[in-house]
Amino acid sequence: MGRGRAYLSIVVMAIAASAATTPPALTVTTRARAVQPGELILFTILAAQPVSQVTVRAFGRDWPAYEDGSARRWRAPVGIDLDTRPATYHAEIAAGEDRTSYPLVVRARAFRTRHLTVNPDLVNPPQGCRFAPRCRYAQERCQVEEPPLTPTAEDPRHIYACWYPVGSPEYKAIKASRQAEPIGAEAAA
């Protein structure tokens, strides 16, 4: 009877030792400059057995994982949205039948304030056609009235805004009068 108990305790110890030395089904590591909003985390998932697909779900969305050299090693880039609040989040990782959760502690991030100066003409454009200051065919009407959007005859999906579109009789008349002017008359005016 003593020998039976000895065998039983050896078997129990062997099972406990093998359970303690069995590697986890999934090993997850991450690499990131910082775990903050606006950053990217690169997950590396190492499966104990080859798998055909790995899924990573973090921050409320699924992220694509790709095989990295073998069916056991996978990578998944995970982005942290700018509006993500500081907290502990969990990435849920599935590889075949194996599943694990990986904690992500997102820290706060302070963004620098930028002061921009915008040309007032871009915010409140001047009266008339916006291209008139740089159009060589602009007339007085272009300085005063903004032309409507008009579809072309060839393709109604193509629209333009011009009082004197290329090919129109008005355009041809302006072009002819410009060509009749001596060179340099435009600059002198």
Domain 23-106, what fold? Immunoglobulin-like (2.60.40)
For the purposes of burial, counting CB atoms within 10 Å of the CB of 53, is it exposed (0-12), middle (13-18) or buried (19 or more)?
exposed
Predicted pLDDT at 77? 97
Please state the domain extents for the chain.
23-106, 122-181
Q: For residue 29, what are its two tokens? A: 């590591």
- Please give the Cα distance from 92 to 82 (Å, whole number): 21
For CA atoms 59, 65, 68, 71, the dihedral sign is positive
Non-local CB neighbours of 112 within 8 Å, separated by 6+ positions:
none
Provide the percentage of residues in the chain whose pLDDT is more than 90. Answer: 48
Whether residue 17 has pLDDT greater than 70: no
Predicted pLDDT at 123? 81
pLDDT per position as a tens digit, 110-164: 888 888 888 887 788 778 998 888 888 888 999 999 999 988 878 888 888 999 8
Predicted pLDDT at 184? 59
Across all residues in the chain, what is the average pLDDT? 84
Q: How far is CA 24 from CA 6, 91, 99, in A?
A: 30, 17, 10
Predicted pLDDT at 7? 61
- How many Cα atoms occupy the beta-carbon half-sphere of 73 within 13 Å? 5
Task: Determine the average pLDDT of the residues in 75-81.
Answer: 96
Lowest average pLDDT, out of 3-12, 46-55, 79-88, goes to 3-12
Predicted pLDDT at 28? 95
Task: Determine the average pLDDT of the residues in 88-110.
Answer: 94
Predicted pLDDT at 183? 63
Higher pLDDT, 186 or 25: 25
